[in-house]
A = this chain, B = another copy of it.
Amino acid sequence: MTLPAPRPDLPPPQRRPGGRTARIRTQVLDAVLAELGERGYDGLTVELVAARAGVHRATVYRRWGDVGGLLADALDAAGDDAWHPPDTGSLEGDLAALNHEIQDALTAQPPIVPALIAASFRSEQAEQAQRRLWEDRYARCESIVSRAAQRGELPPDTDARRLLVTATAPLYHQLVLLWTPPDPFLPDHAARTAALAASAGAFAGHPRAESEPRPPT
């Protein structure tokens, strides 16, 4: 789901309180994202991150091990925020606002989010951290579906995860797999499509493959 898209060229606006250890972590992880945005995964090294962060590289090696460890911690830190999904008052509106956030994150410069996605193909640690982050983001987004069910827009047994994947997958598909230029209509259209399918009952109950034997009645 959406990842934060920090602007490495601007000073970070605020810092969580913490001692020296927390401060070093912040400096190092900011440097990871900035290096990743500028150089991509292939240009990311512990040495460059340490230099940019103003931290001795031995400290980085000791605490993070390697580039995979740095990326995994950057992804874990990205999930440690107060982000919550948009609340516009309707299912379609919430999904559209969410999709606009995703499209913005995927097309922001420097391209940090695509670089993190690319890294998940290369580093098992990064892949696992990304999976954790996405799992957490989709879990937070389930409130979109529960609110819609409370408003009577959806049946109460709606499969939230499938609905959310249906609404958001076309954005990622177009922008980081098909590599097509951003389509300004796509965020709204993918939201409307998922909302229409939901109204037609596509996500009600547990899906069953056509070929699965049904229990005897």
Contact = CB atoms under 8 A, between A and B. Distances in A.
A158 B116 CA distance: 35
A152 to B, nearest CB: 18
Nearest to A208: B185
Contacts of A168: 173
Contacts of A165: 170, 173-174, 178
A189 to B, nearest CB: 4
Which of A96, A189, A203 has the most CB atoms of chain B within a 10 A radius of its CB? A189
A22 B89 CA distance: 61
Interface residues of A, number: 46
Contact of A209 (B42, B121, B178, B184): B184
Interface stretch (A27-35, A50-58, A65-73, A194-202): A194-202
A134 B127 CA distance: 25
B210 A202 contact: no
Interface string A191-217: 011101101111100011110000000
Interface string A107-144: 00000001001101110000100110010000000000
A178 B134 contact: yes
Contact of A200 (B114, B179, B200): B200
Contacts of A169: 169-170, 172-173
Given A117-B177, A169-B172, A196-B197, 7 more contacts: A96-B210, A162-B193, A165-B178, A166-B190, A185-B208, A192-B207, A196-B202
27 contacts: A42-B122, A117-B177, A118-B118, A121-B176, A130-B179, A131-B179, A162-B193, A165-B170, A165-B173, A165-B178, A166-B166, A169-B170, A169-B172, A172-B173, A172-B177, A185-B208, A188-B207, A188-B209, A188-B210, A192-B207, A193-B197, A193-B203, A194-B197, A196-B196, A196-B202, A199-B200, A200-B200
